[in-house]
Homo-oligomer: A and B are copies of this chain.
Amino acid sequence: MSYAKMSKLFVRTLRQDPADAEVPSHRWLVRAGYIRRAAPGVYTWLPLGLRVLARVEAIIREEMEAIGAQEVHFPALLPREPYEQTNRWTEYGPNLFRLKDRKGQDMLLGPTHEEMFTLLVKDLYSSYKDLPVILYQIQTKYRDEARPRAGVLRGREFIMKDSYSFDIDDEGLEVNYVKHRQAYQRIMDRLGLDYVIVKAMSGAMGGSRSEEFLALSDNGEDTFVRSPGGYAANVEAVSVGAVAPGDPTSFPPARTVSTPGAGTIATLVEAVNQSAPRTDRAWEASDTLKNVVFMRVAADGKRSPLIIGLPGDRDVDEKRLEAALSPDQAEPFTDEDFVSFPDLVKGYIGPVSFSGEPTALLGADRPAGVTYLTDPRVVTGTSWVSGANVVDTHVVNLVMGRDFTSDGVIDVAEIRPGDPAPDGSGPLSLARGVEMGHIFQLGRKYAEALGLKVLDAQGKLVTVTMGSYGIGVTRAVAMVAEATCDEKGLAWPRNLAPYDVIIVIAGKDPAMVDAADRLATDLELEGLEVVVDDRAVSPGVKFADAEIIGFPTSVIVGRGLKDGVVEVRDRLSGESSSVPLAEAVGAVLRLGQSDPVEDLA
């Protein structure tokens, strides 16, 4: 291999930010010529980007092989039937790319391959002696995201490493789960990412235990919580601790209060403090029962109102709601919907109707088709101020278990800093991250649906237990860029950079070209990958491009050459030093050795 030349390299840096760039990694990967958008959420990888991607893939492959995983490769174009058998054909809803072939057969573009791996193992294996086995692929996935964003950070076509473990029993699954957890830790370390492992929801995947690897990032879409005592969970997966029920008979009777215009929690608190003041203290938002109504949309399209009752000082957290309802979805309840359900009085919804005699509007005798779920804090023996289902009217002293009940518990209120960790390990703090990996103990869901059984040692057919483990490969490139870039451009860690060194010819003296050529050749002999910037542009343009592209090391062959020196610059630290030409190779190699990420790898 000989070194590359900037004059030939298929790369052009852009002076302007792309119009749709929301986050730094997207901006710089486009501006530095690593990726280009082909369609919304669908990207082309240019030569520089592809080289980084290959390095990330190599790390992941090494760590998967190290835990004994064997690589296979599934198609992206898949038949409907297996996904029908697990119901995911329907449950994936609009996130699934569906198509028909020329014969009218339903097909899909694989969003993840649990079904196919299950069937493959069923095809090849039949005995407990064949297990355990871990299979993986690094493969292109498709999800028709509602809001593709941030370049390759959340795309509709993306590369994922997905692996699957197959075991005869739960102990085996636990072993393979832990193997993956450790492999993912090594991968995240080698990528140089600052990350946290949090308890997660399983979502559409099903299964019991799951954890996410979140890379810390203020631009992340995921919010997670941590406690001083070591609790860590995606905000979607936090369970509010159970509240002990009280005695529902110990409260004064419920009564209506006139609350003209008090259609919000703030105005309600003000109104009841005026017209029905408490003697011990003022009413607070946390004394009110907020009833938020959504239209729940099942995967098969069925729509029905869902009312969520929660303390009035908290809002429903959209992501927690989405996770709790999955695969169903919640849509806003529109004015037309209110017309269709005249029992629900906008702004004054409550669990009991006081329009005439008190009657249970919600709860057991609710209007047909309406579901009423309550926050875990709304337990028997708690007293609330809530809507009376009559305009300008509320009820006080409305007691759960005495005056109303609900159809069940839903734990979707926002989590706030300072809330107690469910395990008693102290107050929670919140931060944001990007989901880089997700490991699941699937259990027997897929094996049961698709009939993956093997003979055990007693000759009895038993259902196999599975794990599934994903890590975003294209997303990892974006996330490393996001974590390392600065105001000048990309700044790759040495083990992931598209090239190790750029040699900038900063002048027109032919001696500079000769020196650059010799230096490049010597560096390549040392195993480094080198680009020489031989373009007929000013040194300033070359320096700026070297910084935008983010080569870890620049060697500038310029005016100093007549005194026998070149300049060696480190992109990450910004440090620069003049070294004699004859010592340049050694200086570059020493920079590489001092890199902590390189050492780790």
Q: How far is the CA of A74 from the CA of B42 in the complex (A)?
A: 9
Identify the interface centre among A11, A65, A68, A72: most chain B CB within 10 Å of its CB: A72
Residue pair A38, B71 in contact (C-beta under 8 Å): no
In the complex, the answer to whether A157 meets B76 with C-beta atoms within 8 Å is yes
Partner pick for A47 among B38, B45, B72, B144, CB 8 A cutoff:
B72
Q: Which residue from chain B places its CB closest to the CB of A110 in the assembled complex?
A: B38
CB contact between A120 and one of B44, B73, B156 (< 8 Å): that residue: B44
Instruction: Decide if A265 is an interface residue (CB 8 Å cutoff).
Output: no
Query: Which of these binds chain B: A98-106, A243-251, A566-574, A578-586?
Result: A98-106
Is A33 an interface residue when CB atoms closer than 8 A count as contact? yes
CA A469 – CA B78 in complex, angstroms? Answer: 28
**Once the chains bind, are B124 and A72 in contact (CB under 8 Å)?**
no
For A89, list chain B residues within 8 Å (CB).
none
Q: Is the CB of B10 within 8 A of A116?
A: no
Q: Quick one: copies of this chain in the complex?
A: 2
Flag A92-112 by CB within 8 Å of B: 1 or 0 each. 001101110110010101000
Q: A338: shortest Cβ distance to chain B, in Å?
A: 27
Any chain B CB within 8 A of the CB of A501? no
Q: Looking at the complex, which one of B36, B73, B146 makes contact with A102 (CB distance below 8 Å)? A: B146
Question: Which residues does chain B contribute within 8 Å of A416, judged by CB atoms?
Answer: none
Q: How far is the CB of A141 from chain B (nearest CB, A)?
A: 11
Residues on B with C-beta less than 8 A from A384 are: none
Encoded as 1 (CB less than 8 Å from any B CB) or 0, chain A from 32 to 52 comes to 010010110011111100100
6 contacts between A and B (CB under 8 A): A10-B72, A10-B133, A39-B75, A44-B73, A95-B102, A101-B144
A105: chain B residues within 8 A (beta carbon): 39
Q: How far is the CB of A533 from chain B (nearest CB, A)?
A: 16
The answer for the CA separation of A70 and B79 in the assembled complex, in Å, is 35
Minimum CB distance partner of A125 in chain B: B12
Within 8 A of B (CB), among A119-168: 120, 123-125, 133, 135, 140, 142, 144, 146, 156-157
A395 to B78, CA, bound (A): 57
- Interface contact B44-A75, CB-CB below 8 Å: yes
Residues on B with beta carbons closer than 8 Å to the beta carbon of A45: 72-74
A73 to chain B, nearest CB (A): 4
Q: Which residues of B contact A461 (CB under 8 A)?
A: none
Contacts of A46 on B, CB cut-off 8 Å? 72, 120
Partner of A70, one of B42, B47, B65, B75: B47
Residues of A in contact, count (CB < 8 Å): 53
For chain A, residues 246 to 294, give those with C-beta under 8 angstroms from any C-beta of chain B. Answer: none
Interface pair A36/B75, CB less than 8 Å apart:
no
Q: Report the minimum CB–CB distance from A108 to chain B (whole Å).
A: 10
Q: Are B72 and A39 in contact (CB under 8 A)?
A: no
Q: List B contacts of A74 (CB < 8 A).
A: 38, 44-45
Residues of chain B within 8 A of A120, CB atoms compared? 36, 44, 46
Judging by beta carbons under 8 Å apart, are A76 and B73 in contact? Answer: no
Assess whether A44 is in contact with B94, with CB atoms less than 8 Å apart: no
A13 to chain B, nearest CB (A): 10
- Which residues does chain B contribute within 8 Å of A116, judged by CB atoms? 38, 44
Which B-chain residue is minimally distant from A123 (CB atoms)? B36
Partner of A68, one of B8, B33, B68, B144: B8
Pair A77/B50 contact, Cβ less than 8 Å: no
A68 nearest CB across to chain B (Å): 7
CB distance from A312 to the nearest CB of B (A): 36
Asked whether A77 lies within 8 Å of B10 as measured between CB atoms, the reply is: no
Give min CB distance, A79 to chain B, whole Å.
Answer: 4
A9 within 8 A of B: yes
Measured in the bound complex, the distance between the Cα atoms of B74 and A38 in whole Å is 8
Known: A107-B39, A144-B101. A124 touches B10 (CB 8 A): yes
Q: Is the CB of B98 within 8 A of A99?
A: yes
Identity of the chain B residue whose Cβ is nearest the Cβ of A77 in the assembled complex: B157
Within 8 A of B (CB), among A445-481: none
CB distance from A478 to the nearest CB of B (A): 15
**Nearest chain B CB to A221's CB is how many angstroms away?**
19
